[in-house]
Each structure stands twice: as structure tokens, then as C-alpha cells.
């Protein structure tokens, strides 16, 4: 329940200012580690720290290619500390599906379907042997980007309630 108001604030900050404040992410991280430790003891602490590091590593991969901002990486890592290591991959899948759906809507709304699909095509061609994966530049117009805290927070809440019964 602690994460719901924080998710709303973080989502608002990312949509409005395109920034995810480190202080808010730190509150989520410390809260996740503390609550998992209180309710799960040393096992809860280890699950929380494992979730943090696994989530950070997975999202850092996307950041290395320029498809994810540093704030998004830190936010998902903090959420990994809340959900624990066993829920990081299911949470990532729900976040990816949520993000994909929102990205398609945003792409259609901003009339950038062809440009975006060409970028996706170049990315997958870059994965072929002998090719180079392109590094993506963030468009200067914020109307052409999706503040990814929205799918991260929304998808994480969905995953938490689906898989943490």
C-alpha cells in the first residue's frame, strides 16, 4: 500500500517534468527493503536485495542501448526491492506489455507510426550477426516520447496484485 501513493507521485513527476526524482525512488527502495525485512526476516532481506540487483541489471541493459532513461532503471530496481527476486521477471513482462500497449497508443496519437517502426526494424537488424545495434537518440520533442514511469508503476502494481497472492 505504501507504493500506491508513491507510484502516483512518481508518475505525475515523470509525465509533467520528464524526471523521476531520486529522493522518491530512494523512499520506494528503502521502504521495500525495510518492509520485506520486517515481514520476512533475513529471507525477506535477501529476496529484496536480489530483486533490486536483478531488476537493475535487466533495465540497465535497455539503458545501455539508449531505450530507457536512468531514472526508469532506478525506479524499476526499487520496485524489484519491493516485489523481491521471484517477481522481477513476471513484473518485467507485465511492464513490457503495458509499455508496449501505451507506446502503440502514443505512436498512433502522435502520428509517428512509420518513423517508429523504422527504428524498431533497424534495432532488430542490428541484432543480426555482423551488424551493429544502433544507439537511439531521445527525440527533443517530449510529445514523441513516452514517460516510462507510467507503465513501470502501473505494470508493477498489476504484477504485484496478480502474482503476490
Choice between 92 and 145, residue whose per-residue pLDDT is larger: 92
Distance (Å, rounded) from C-alpha 6 to C-alpha 97? 22
> Quick one: average pLDDT of 18-43?
94
- Rounded CA separation 61/144 (Å): 22
- At 131-157, the pLDDT tens digits run 877 766 666 666 667 899 999 999 999
Split at pLDDT 50, 70, 90, the class of 13 is: very high
Tell me: the pLDDT tens digits for 36-75?
Answer: 999 999 999 999 999 999 999 999 988 887 778 899 999 9
pTM of the model: 0.83
Q: Are 43 and 85 in contact (CB under 8 A)?
A: no
Looking at the predicted structure, is the pLDDT value of residue 125 above 80? yes
Amino acid at each position: 500500500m505504501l507504493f500506491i501513493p508513491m507510484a502516483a507521485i512518481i508518475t505525475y513527476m515523470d509525465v509533467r517534468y520528464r524526471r523521476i526524482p531520486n529522493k522518491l525512488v530512494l523512499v520506494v527502495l528503502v521502504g521495500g527493503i525495510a518492509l520485506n525485512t520486517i515481514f520476512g526476516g533475513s529471507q525477506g532481506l535477501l529476496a529484496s536485495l536480489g530483486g533490486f540487483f536483478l531488476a537493475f541489471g535487466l533495465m540497465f541493459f535497455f539503458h545501455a542501448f539508449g531505450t530507457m532513461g536512468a531514472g526508469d532503471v532506478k525506479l524499476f530496481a526499487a520496485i524489484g526491492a519491493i516485489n523481491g527476486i521471484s517477481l522481477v521477471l513476471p513484473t518485467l513482462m507485465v511492464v513490457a506489455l503495458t509499455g508496449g500497449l501505451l507506446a502503440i497508443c502514443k505512436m498512433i496519437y502522435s502520428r509517428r507510426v512509420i518513423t517508429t517502426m523504422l527504428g524498431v526494424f533497424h534495432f532488430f537488424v542490428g541484432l543480426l550477426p555482423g551488424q551493429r545495434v544502433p544507439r537511439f537518440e531521445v527525440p527533443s520533442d517530449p510529445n514523441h516520447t513516452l514517460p516510462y514511469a507510467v507503465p513501470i508503476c502501473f505494470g508493477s502494481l498489476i504484477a504485484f496484485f496478480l502474482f503476490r497472492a
